[in-house]
Amino acid sequence: MSGTGNCGKCGICLSVCPVYAVLKEEQNSPRARVQLIKAYKNKKLPSSPLLKELIAKCLMCGSCAANCPSGVDHYSQFMEMRSQLIEKHGDRLEIRGLVYLLAKEQRLRLAMGAARMGQAVVPSAFQKKYRLGNIPVKNYPKLNKKPFRAEVPEEIPPISQERGTVLYFTGCGTNYIFGETGHAALKILSRLGYRVLIPQKQTCCSIPMLFHGGVEEARENIIANIECLQHENACAVLVDCPTCGSALRDEFPAMMRKYGLDDAVAEQIAAKTQDMTAFIADHLDQLTFRQEDAEPARVGYHLPCHLKNAAGSSEAILRQIPTIDYVQLANSGDCCGGGGTFFYEYPELSGQIAAAKIASIRESGAQIWLTDCPVCRINLAGQLAEEDGIAMMHPLSLLAGLLDELDKQVL
């Protein structure tokens, strides 16, 4: 992990930090966090609850690191510092609870089941009135009836000529909340001729834990994931969530080294990890879409930070689909303010960051707003009103829905 020594304090990061853009306070900027960490390491500043807050009031979007000309690894530094400060000053009870749940798939499954029952029994009057973070309770998505991975077999054969095998890392978003994304992915992959393996032993990618000091809690998850994703015959490890993608690509190898374990397999998996939409974009010519729609839907896109900062985007594929009216939003690459649990911890600030995005999607007249990241989706959908008539979904869901009917294709 690189040190803070090479920060030239140039300030480029100020121009890409969503939190600084709203607050305009140096103490809430990436440059300041790097300097604060340096002061703490040099024992010029003791640890304190305020120091913890200044380090934590960050979306962990990674835009500072992605744009730093001096190669400062803000992301890892912030993660490590968060962990140290949480150890000393604790974290909110509900955030600790989240780390506890994510550390064991069984706990998570039970909690999600209970939460689903809860959603069914909470009076709608309460749902209308109350907010969690900056989002009205009624705007939270309904949880999957059954976890996605419990609904589908571990191995799904292709329905056209077989091209190869891929592994699918579904992430918690698809598994517990947005099952339809997973079904859409399977529909497209099997149409493309891929045998899809969904290892049942996979579990949370651990990023939420790592952001909240759960370095030790994450260990078991990371090892389990690496074990079940090790598969020589698979040509790719596909993710539908950009944050899971960054975990598999960057954090798994780094954390294995941190734990003092062999990182070879983690590196192999990292090299094979690919964003699902990008994988499909590479094979787009092998899919046939309906050629006409009476009234093509107007579609906007929000590019999640963890995809943008890994040089990815689902935008290119959207431009190639004939039956949608794709409208490019000027701020489609701006952060939504969701940031894992940020929208829950700093609701007002998060709302301010989201406001410009909400205004521009409303102005665009789009009926469908796509984004790859489940947290961005929850956050943005949460800010929309029912009368906006804007549906949010993963790009895969839209693509799957636009595929030509198979029987017609065969004819």
Partner 1 sequence: MLKPDVKMELVAIVGSDRYVDQPEVLTCYSYDSFAEEAMPEAVIFPLTTEEVAEVMRIASREKIPVTARGAGTSVCGGPVPVQHGIVLCFSKMNKILSINTRDRHAVVQPGVVNLDLQKALAPHGFFFPPDPGSMNFSTIGGNVSHNAGGPRCLKYGVTVDYVLGMQVVLASGKVVRFGSKNIKDVTGYNFSALYCGSEGTLGLVTEIILRVVPRPETMQTLLVTFDSLDNTARAVSDIIGSGILPAAMELMDKMTINAIEDAVGIGLPREAEGTLLIEVDGTTEACSRERQQIVAKVQEHGAVTIEEACTEEDRNRLWTARRAAYGVFAKISPNIVSEDVTVPVSRVPEMIRKIVEITDRYGLKAGVLAHAGDGNMHPLVCTDRENHEEWQRVEKAFAEIFQAAADMEGTLSGEHGIGLAKAEYLPLVMDQDTRDFMALIKHAVDPDNILNPGKFV
* Residue 173 contacts residue 161 (beta carbons within 8 Å): no
Alpha helices, DSSP H, located in 193-326: 207-211, 215-229, 242-246, 252-258, 264-272, 276-282, 305-308, 315-319
Looking at the Cβ atoms of 44 and 408, the one nearer to partner 1 is 44
Q: Is 320 in the site for partner 1 (CB under 8 A)?
A: no
* Residue 338 contacts residue 345 (beta carbons within 8 Å): no
Query: Near partner 1 by CB under 8 A, which window of 37-45, 148-156, 259-267, 345-353?
Result: 37-45
DSSP state of 358: H
Q: Is 127 in the site for partner 1 (CB under 8 A)?
A: no
Among 56, 61, 68, 177, binds partner 1 (CB under 8 A): 68
Distance CA 88, CA 82 (A): 10
Site for partner 1 in 45-64 (CB under 8 A): 45, 48, 50-51, 54
Site for partner 1 in 332-361 (CB under 8 A): none
Cα–chain-centroid distance for residue 397? 16
Q: Is 328 in the site for partner 1 (CB under 8 A)?
A: no
Helix (H, G, I), strand (E, B) or coil at 138: helix
Q: Is 24 in the site for partner 1 (CB under 8 A)?
A: yes
Looking at the Cβ atoms of 10 and 150, the one nearer to partner 1 is 10
Query: Near partner 1 by CB under 8 A, which window of 27-35, 194-202, 231-239, 259-267?
Result: 27-35
With tokens 């899919």, the residue in question is 287
* Residue 305 contacts residue 332 (beta carbons within 8 Å): no
Looking at the Cβ atoms of 184 and 335, the one nearer to partner 1 is 335
Tokens for 128, please give them.
Answer: 């209308």
Shortest Cβ distance from residue 326 to partner 1 (Å)? 20
Q: Is 71 in the site for partner 1 (CB under 8 A)?
A: yes
Tokens for 343, please give them.
Answer: 């929208």
Distance CA 383, CA 224 (A): 36
Shortest Cβ distance from residue 40 to partner 1 (Å)? 9
Q: Is 230 in the site for partner 1 (CB under 8 A)?
A: no
Residues that bind partner 1 (CB under 8 A): 5-12, 14-15, 24-27, 29, 32, 35-36, 39, 44-45, 48, 50-51, 54, 68-71
